[in-house]
Structure 1
Amino acid sequence: MLPTTFKDYYQILGVEPGAHPMEIKRAWRALVLQWHPDVAGLQEINTKKFQDIQEAYETLTDPLKKEKYLQQRWLQQVTQTRTFYTPNDADEVLQAMIKVEQLVFRADSYRLDTDFIEQYIRFILTPRSIELINEPKDGIVSKEITKLTLRCCNILPAKSRTAVLKTLSGLKQSESMNLIAAYKKENSLRWTLEKYKTAIILIIVALLCWLISSLA
């Protein structure tokens, strides 16, 4: 989830988004000299500014932190001018979901911020969006939106996946409902194993220990 006050690390360092690491490092060094807390007369102000500079540099030079930050920054740019997503028609919702699906499958699954993906999907699939998707003329669009959303669900942890599926439950087009039902049926065993994975592992370990001790 995004912090209440989102920090633009590129702006803090005074560099353009996509700046080369060496450019980021040069900007950081110059700012450290300018805003170090030991500079006389401005210690309280400089300490906060210096902390922001350090945080920005550490984030933009660490691949894992940077990728997560860029995902959050994208969502911030999308949502900063509006509290609610207000599409004009189902086609607009479809285009938004295509962008989410592209983001999911272009990114490294181990680095993907799944909280961000869940948040963005639910930002798009508002009650107004669901209402538009349910219009009789938009059956094909409804089907495509459902397929894209379910594909994204595959990378989500159980809690996030449940939240998205709950949102999808508002879809009333028959093809969408059939897709959701088939998806749940197809994945029910995998989800059960995920839910009880720790218990299953412990049982297997206990059985192996018992077997080894009985053979000794």
Structure 2
Amino acid sequence: MTAASIDTTAATSAQVPLPRRIAMVLATMTIATVFYLAINTYPLRQPRLLPLTFVDEWIGWQAWTIWPYWLLLFTGPALLLSIRERNLLLATLRAYAIAMSLNAAIWLAWPTRMLRSGLPEGMDPFTAFAWHCLYALDDVNNCFPSGHITIPAVVAVGAGLQYPRARPWIWLTLIALAPSVISTGQHYAWDIAGGLATATIGLLLAGVPLWRPGAAPLLQPQ
């Protein structure tokens, strides 16, 4: 093995301590959340109403799916915190920043909104509280593209490289939780497609080691 390859392997396998990871993730998520909430509350243009698709009508609105929806929201930060390899974490954060910047550009230039119906009666107190928290934090604007899809899609790639054996379970979990963005009335099918598109662009532009062939074996096996 050459000295260059040893240096590359050592650099790639450098670990980021948990406190620093927490600080990095908190800073990234806070900036993105504050910016989103600001332009969601005060859009620069009149938001356009997106049409329903047959997928939205088929899935419908289900009160209980507030729980998988909240779980999806926390999955992104949790997976991001789990990435220990320095180069991989930095590449994932780059992809996150690029993808969310694309989302923000669309939200600013072409804001959208969706219809939101009132909450039904008869929900248990915990479910009702979860819904009231959601409605208090998130408005009906800027639903396309869905950042709730962009973020976990980006982070799942980085986490899947960090933990290759867990990769199928990571993606199966996200696929199972993703419909909750529709069944809670937070997004339409269009928004999911848009979120996946910006996630893909962010991952492609982030570069090594997310998309370079042969990059994953440099990471420490899990």
Greater helix proportion = 1
* Structure having greater relative contact order (Cα 8 Å, sep ≥ 6): 2
Fold similarity call, TM over 0.5: no
Shorter-normalised TM-score: what interval?
under 0.3
